[in-house]
Structure 1
């Protein structure tokens, strides 16, 4: 019935429960479906295959299938169109991440990787931390940048509190990244701290 509905009305007209059912081949016990739909979309996307397999009616194959679907969605979100405008200001960079980052409940440290024309090549998740910190090492940042042949990077991380005021640790991390970038020949152009629909540019504040 569900597959016929998708064929007749299109995948974009099917609700979350229908999409999950289609991915899992529709044979899911009502109890398990209730558990899955009791979570919001982000919680569902963050479930590991092991957590999914613990639910009745979901074996290894179905768990991996659902996890793979969410991983594809994450990679699509990280893919920047070829015609992405050049980053000319902190506002240009902030608009690319604000919509998603402002709602994260843990600190995420991301990097916007740029080519020689300051066009965004990709967005990389460098680390995911706790409510008030995100440990990050230059090695992880520049490994991603070198792999993508980036000429420059813009650092971005969020404050789940909603207050984008940079901490002393934020300033120290930025300086360490700038120094490492100078060594490997990849410029760190800015570091944005994202709050609730507001941000601070460390470069604009003269903190880097």
Structure 2
């Protein structure tokens, strides 16, 4: 091998890193999954042999373990890995985004959160990420401690929204004192969230402040006007 020359078997990985997964051919993707070749064939040559015997991905998907093992260089382990990969791909294709319930009113959601957060001794900032039908597609506790503008930065909240393709967000945090009255910091934090949401096209539906037996919805309080 020439000095500093990239091994043939690593070329698909290098191309994926440089150009992205969509730029790779079926042969290159298969070579990455096979990982190694055999004594007789490089991994690229082996992937080419597989695709010669099963020229369409539909045929490859339906190949049996026995048929895969009949290819020189594909033993039982590689055949099992290929079948597992193809089944996982089929399951991913059929998968739907999980739904964690639907938000109908701030009142119902706030009472659910009061039950969950009533014994918290520290402030917790919980964000619910919704689709356009107000179905909760993701929920995450983003901060524990004092929720202020320097700690609870909007970029952390919107990073998760972009990751799960949320259309709307509801933020909620508790006041361990039991008094849900919003502080000036709460109002400023909510203002920043609304401004960021408007710029990104992701709506902030509400900011709920949870007390021991009461809650405050900043939307219901007229803060959205």
Under TM normalisation by the shorter chain, which class is it?
Answer: 0.5 to 0.7
- Residues 152-194 of structure 1: CA distance to partner in whole angstroms, max 9, x if unpaired? 0001000000000111110100010000011111100100000
Q: Does 1:90 align with 2:117?
A: no
Q: How many angstroms apart in 2 are the aligned matches of 1:151 and 1:188?
A: 9
* Ranges in structure 2 where 5+ consecutive residues have no aligned partner: 1-96
Whole-angstrom distance in 2 between the partners of 1:127 and 1:156:
11
Distance (Å, rounded) in 1 between the aligned partners of 2:188 and 2:169: 17
- Mapped to 1, the partners of 2:189 and 2:100 lie a distance apart of 31
| TM-score relative to the length of structure 1 | 0.57
User: Cα deviation per residue 1:68-106 (whole Å; 9 max; x = unaligned)?
Assistant: xxxxxxxxxxxx97372x322111321332222121111
Q: Distance in 1 between matches of 2:168 and 2:107?
A: 17
Which residue is 2:200 aligned to? 184
1:150 alignment partner in structure 2: 166
Q: Comparing 161-170 with 95-104, which one deviates more in the overlay?
A: 95-104
Instruction: Please state whether the residue corresponding to 1:163 is helix, strand or coil.
Output: coil
Instruction: Name the residue aligned to 2:122.
Output: 106
Q: CA deviation at 1:114?
A: 0.5
1:207–1:83 CA distance, 2 compared to 1 (3 A): closer
Out of 196, 199, 202, the residue aligned to residue 218 of structure 2 is 202
Alignment correspondent of 2:89:
none
Report the counterpart of residue 145 of structure 2 in structure 1: 129
> 1:109: how far off?
0.9
| Bigger Rg, which one | 2
* Aligned with 1:138 (options 134, 140, 154): 154
**2:175 corresponds to:** 159
* TM-aligned CA deviation for residue 129 of structure 1: 1.2
Q: How many residues align?
A: 127
User: Deviating runs (4+, > 4 A) in structure 1?
Assistant: none
**Contact 2:130–2:169 (CA<8 Å) still a contact in 1?**
yes
User: TM-score, normalised on structure 2?
Assistant: 0.53
SS at match of 1:173: helix
Secondary structure at the aligned position of 2:165 is classed as coil
2:136 maps to: 120
Distance of aligned partners of 1:183 and 1:196 in 2 relative to their CA distance in 1, 3 Å threshold? same
